[in-house]
Amino acid sequence: MPAIRKNNLLAKAIDNSVNFSFVLPAIAIFSIFYIYPFYDIFNLSLHEWNGISSYREFVGLANFKELMVDKIWWKSIWHAGFITIIALTFQNMLAFSLALVCDRQIRLKKFYRTVFFIPPVLSEIVVGLIWQWILYAGTQSGEHIGLLNYVLVKSGLPHLVNNWLSNPKTALTCIALVHCWKGFGWGFIILLAGLQTIDSQLYEAARVDGAGSWKTFRHVTLPMMMPVILVVIILTVLGSMQVFILIISMVGQGLGYHTEVPVTRILSSMMGTGRYGYACAMGVSFGAILITISAAFKYLSNKTKQV
């Protein structure tokens, strides 16, 4: 009897090992390419390291302590927050409005859908360079070369001519608006897909009950779209907080610290000042901030579902 039991146990162990072996490649790949980088970034954030030397000096939480009082870091977080607020309001409202329009039976619906989705598929560098040319403030032979300033002068509004990207009062807003222009297509597609999943019977029932356009929107469309809207909000927040390519292509390293965002700070710590440990501490803190924001929205989303 014990021999049979032993054989059974052995067979079970082999069976389990074989089964485990099938998921082992996935686990290995996940660990190497996902968990290990996380661990390494956190580990590096506790060290001072120049990125090349084999020696890393352990500094404990010193990098995090320094980060807490780094005014430029917090300023960069605020800048990313500002871009996010503009994106959440302007970009998403634009996306939702256009999705509502395209959800109706209008002419050239397919054409609009295609056109609205062009900016998101363009490279951020290209978008930045195009807008840099539009917002350019230079002149040649007394004429403005930048398209916006040229149009303003020709339309009889020369007092509105501005040095859009080199003026600290307008630079970040310009970047935020270009970011919205570049990004609204994603929200538009997702929201349009959401609108098309709403059962038309609900609209018919509302119409039978005497609801007008506004009431139908408020009591049918909006509640049904809430989960989709929350997804769009989370994606907008994550995308806007991490914007940086657009900034680099529009203003380079310029304008003092007025256009600094967390990712440019991380880059500047790594490549500019060679402080990899500090840059990793920034990355870890920034990641924590983004996770907290996403978790808060997820919590709100669950609450909304319960309501």
Partner 1 sequence: MKRVLSLFLCCFLILSIGCGKKKKDSNTITIWHWMTDRHKTFESLAQKYEEQTGIKVQIDLYAPSDVFTHKIIASAQARVLPDIYGILDKKKVFASFIENGFVADLTEEFKKNDSEWEKAIFPKALDVNRFKEGNIYNIRPGIYGAPLDVTNIQMLYNRKLLEKIGVKTPPVTFEDFINIAESLKRIGISSLVSGWGELWMIECFASNYAFNIMGEKKVMDTFKGEVPYTDPDWIKVFSIFKDLADRGILVEGVVTKPNKFAEQDFALERAAFAFNGSWCVNVYNDMNPDLEYGAMLPPSINPKLPMRIWGGAGSSFVVNQDSTNKDKAIAFLKWITNKEQQSYLAKETKNLPSNRQALSDIPKILSEFARVMDYTTYPSIWEYNEAALVSEKFNRGIQSIIIGEKTPQEVAEEVQAVKQKELEKAKRKRK
Binding interface with partner 1 (CB under 8 A): 14-15, 17-18, 21-22, 24-25, 28, 50-54, 132, 136-142, 145, 163, 165-168, 171, 250-257, 268, 271-275
Closer residue to partner 1, CB minimum distance, 38 or 299: 38
Q: Which residue blocks in 122-170 are alpha helix, DSSP H? A: 124-135, 147-154
Q: In whole angstroms, what is the distance from residue 131 CA to residue 147 CA? A: 9
Task: Convert 107-124 to b/e letters by CB count within 10 Å (16 or more is b).
Answer: eeeeeebeebeebbeeeb
Cα(88)–Cα(78) distance, rounded to whole angstroms?
A: 15
In whole angstroms, the minimum distance from the beta carbon of 305 to partner 1 comes to 42
**What is the tally of helices (H) and strands (E) in the chain?**
16, 4
Q: How far is the CB of 288 from partner 1 (least distance, A)?
A: 24
> C-beta of 71: minimal distance to partner 1 in Å?
11
User: Nearest 5 degrees, angle CA 184-CA 160-CA 139?
Assistant: 95
CB of 249 to partner 1, least distance (A): 9
Query: How far apart, in whole angstroms, are the C-alpha atoms of residue 120 and residue 220?
Result: 29
- When the beta carbons of 60 and 138 are compared against partner 1, the nearer one is 138
Min dist CB 111 to partner 1, Å, is: 35
Cβ nearer to partner 1, comparing 147 with 190: 147
Residue closer to partner 1 (CB basis): 128 or 187: 128
What torsion do the CA atoms of 193, 199, 202, 208 make, to the nearest 10 degrees?
110
- 99 versus 171: smaller Cβ distance to partner 1: 171
CB 236 within 8 A of CB 183: yes
Report whether 41 contacts 280 (CB < 8 A).
yes
- What is the nearest approach in angstroms of partner 1 to the Cβ of residue 98? 31
In the complex, the smallest distance separating the C-beta of residue 137 from partner 1, rounded to whole angstroms, is 4
Torsion sign, CA atoms 33, 39, 42, 44? negative
Q: With respect to partner 1, which residue has the nearer C-beta, 93 or 145?
A: 145
The smaller minimum CB distance to partner 1, of residues 137 and 231, is found at 137
Is there a contact between 240 and 179 (Cβ–Cβ < 8 Å)? yes
- Tell me whether strands 139-140 and 57-58 are parallel, antiparallel or unpaired: unpaired
